Amino acid sequence: MTMVEGPAATSTAALELELACDIKEVRGTADKIKAFLIAQGCNSAEVADCDLALVEACNNAIEHGSGAAQNELVHIVTICRRDEIELRITDHTTGFILPDSAKLPRPESETGRGLYLIQTLMSSVDYTRGPKGNTLTLVKKRAPVLA
């Protein structure tokens, strides 16, 4: 776990973690990020939204990894600013095309809700495919802090 703080602890703080490609490891990693966000003064709704979106993103990265990707770590960077929270999840899957607006699957479907939840909970979602990994960037706007 690496924690990097900007010039003033209240302006920008970052946390970098690596996650083994194992579904059983997701909750523990998400809990570390949750504690980091709470320590940065994020409110409970912001923390809950980021937690659920992060767990969905990590689960997808692990579930869709195949071959050599299953031996690669998932890299997670959390950046907390006064006005927003940014989560960057980098995996080594073959990648996917991020739809502009994910649709809910049929009610009887057991899968397919992750992207819909992520896009609903976050202020913006971006996905970049690259030769050394794919990065899902999630941004959650923060509520203004009253002085």
Is a pLDDT exceeding 60 seen at residue 46?
yes
DSSP state of 41: T
Q: Domain of 69: which CATH number?
A: 3.30.565.10
- pTM for this structure? 0.84
Query: What Å distances lie between residue 102 and 6, 15, 99, 115, CA to CA?
Result: 35, 28, 6, 6
Model pLDDT for residues 69-86, shown as the tens digit of each residue:
677 899 999 999 999 999
Pick from 32, 87, 80: nearest CA to 57: 87
Structural domain includes residue 136: yes
Count the Cβ atoms, other than its own, within 10 Å of residue 82. 13
Over residues 21-31, the mean pLDDT reads: 96
Structural domain includes residue 1: no
- Which residue range forms the structural domain that includes residue 51? 13-141
Among 16-20, 60-64, 99-103, where is mean pLDDT lowest?
99-103
Domain total of the chain: 1
Residue 52 three-state SS: helix
What are the residues facing 79 on neighbouring strands?
A: 14, 86
Structural domain includes residue 147: no
* CA 87, chain centre distance (Å): 4
